[in-house]
Amino acid sequence: MSKVIKILGTGCPKCKSMTGVVSEVVSENNIEASIEKVEDIVEIMKFNVMTTPALVIDDVITIKGRVPSKAEVLALLN
Amino acid sequence: MFDWLQHFADWLIYNVFNVGAETHLGIALNFFIYDTLKILILLFVIVFIMGIVNAYFPIEKLKDYLNKKKLYGLEYFFSSIFGAITPFCSCSSVPLFIGFVQGGIPLGVTFSFLITSPLVNEVAVAMFLGMFGVEATLIYAASGILLGTIGGWVLGKFNLEPLLSDWVKKILENKIEQAKFEEKKKTFYDRLPEITQAAWDIVKGVIVYVIIGIAIGAAMHGFVPENFFNQYLGGGEWWTVPLAVIVAVPMYANAAGIVPVIQVFVAKGVPLGTAIAFMMGTVGLSIPEATLLKKVMSLKLIAIFFSVVTLCIILSGYLFNMLL
């Protein structure tokens, strides 16, 4: 089943690097997933996170406030 | 501690580049190489340590702690200290602000955090340590924390909740549960490469500012006459502190770039208190910060927030000049 990935962040450098890491992992491993960047603060606050960037996979927050490594993202997606 | 670095700078400039130790150019280059390397090493070490703290800092638990305990006014102080030790990323200030207020923490206590967070940050501390030494750094950090405590307490006395943005008020009315959060526990050893990488990224991001700041500083050392500022800013007239702060507030200078310039001001006769107040005005309050805050509060609230903090900075500038 295709996964729904959301990246929460208002567009700071860390959020951009998280987007980079996640999209590389998805394309390199042919993972079936949609990536959505959530930049609107009102939308972000619906997840009630206090530190950005945050990674949301199928409505579960998996990482907050830091940029993960590729291996970590791959493990989360499998 | 940095003797070896001085030897290296001497060797590089006088022996390798063969620039005379007595020439203006030689002295300036030596100063530049030594200062730049020293600052970059300090920056990396401090940012790295703060990275470790950040990786394990339980921000959610802190929120619950501030909310549940009766602390008899000390909550402003704690909130301010937490603001100082959590590394500040301007993009996180809005989510943190809402998270705090939503968690039931009074607005004033939240402001304490918001004031100290940019004021006492790892980059500013590393730069201060490199340019002014340990004593001045401790004074700077302690006064930043004190300022956050008092500023938050004063702001807490006003009835400011109605001045928040409508959507924030709505959030406050209907508490939302946090979305499900699952994170695998990772060992310190697992996280080390990630923390090192993050520290390196931060240092890389400010290297340009450090170099420009030190270069401007080095040039000013050579060309601004001794006692130049004494005549205009250092004479201790009552208006010099407010002037320095009011000029500083709209400016948005990276702490990495501003400290080397301030160091020259002090070397040329500006009192340290005035210089610290100027520094606080530049890093603590800025137009970009106001734009971010615009999303969660009305202009009136931003104006009140900025005025109270500006006033506190001016007062602390006077206090330093009296004490130091």
For A23-59, the pLDDT digits (tens) are 998 989 888 888 888 888 878 877 878 778 889 988 8
Terminus-to-terminus CA distance in chain A, angstroms? Answer: 12
Measure in Å the smallest separation between the Cα of B70 and chain A Cα atoms: 23
Choose the closest CB to B183 out of A42, A59, A62: A62
Domain extent for A43? 3-77
pLDDT band, very low/low/confident/very high, at B306 (cuts 50, 70, 90): very high
pLDDT band, very low/low/confident/very high, at B184 (cuts 50, 70, 90): low
pLDDT band, very low/low/confident/very high, at B229 (cuts 50, 70, 90): low
Choose the closest CB to B183 out of A14, A17, A63: A63
CA–CA distances in Å: residue B291 to residues B23, B88, B94, B250:
48, 17, 11, 12
pLDDT at B251 over 80: no
A12 catalytically annotated: yes
Catalytic residue among A8, A15, A22, A56: A15
Q: Please indicate, yes or no, if residue B15 is contained in any of the structural domains.
A: no
Q: Please indicate, yes or no, if residue B247 is contained in any of the structural domains.
A: yes
| Calculated CA dihedral for residues B103, B188, B138, B246, nearest 10 degrees | -50
A-chain residues near B96 (CB < 8 A): 50-51
Which pLDDT score is estimated for B152?
A: 93
Which pLDDT score is estimated for B309?
A: 92
A49 catalytically annotated: no
Domain extent for B281? 59-174+224-323
Which pLDDT score is estimated for B90?
A: 61
Beta bridge mates, A8: A38, A54
Q: Please indicate, yes or no, if residue B1 is contained in any of the structural domains.
A: no
pLDDT band, very low/low/confident/very high, at B244 (cuts 50, 70, 90): confident
B-chain residues near A66 (CB < 8 A): 55, 194, 198
**What's the domain count of chain A?**
1
Which pLDDT score is estimated for B310?
A: 93
DSSP, residue by residue, A24-78: HHHHHTT--EEEEEE--HHHHHTTT-SSS-EEEETTEEEEESSPPPHHHHHHHH-
Which pLDDT score is estimated for B233?
A: 59
**What's the domain count of chain B?**
1
Residues of A in CB contact (< 8 Å) with B are 9-15, 17, 41-42, 44-52, 56, 59-69, 75
CATH number assigned to the domain comprising residue A39: 3.40.30.10
Choose the closest CB to A69 out of B59, B100, B194: B194
pLDDT at B32 over 80: yes
Cβ distance of A56 and B179 shorter than 8 Å = yes
